[in-house]
Amino acid sequence: MGLVWALIMGAIVGVVARGLAGGHRIKGGCLTNILIGIVGSVFGSILVGIIGGTGVTGVNLYSFGVSLLGAVVFLWVARAVSKR
């Protein structure tokens, strides 16, 4: 059941991050949103861990914020790299 919630949260994070970071230019559907959300969870956990915090802890508002932070940073980096 945890995997299902992770996929659902990943899809939601991906949609929100694409809206915030201008990722609407990236083609793809639900699978792309889920992948952006999952990568965002990993990036967010790393970023928060660097400053001494706790990464993703489950399906909760804190984890959503960490994942969203990571997904937005990921999309900014991906856009910067793709422009070169």
pTM: 0.82
**How many independent structural domains does the chain possess?**
1
The number of helix segments (H) and strand segments (E) in the chain equals 3, 0
52-72 confidence digits (pLDDT tens): 888 777 778 888 888 888 888
DSSP string covering 35-50: HHHHHHHHHHHHHHHH
pLDDT at 77 exceeding the cut of 80: yes
Domain range enclosing 46: 2-82
d(CA 18, CA 3): 22
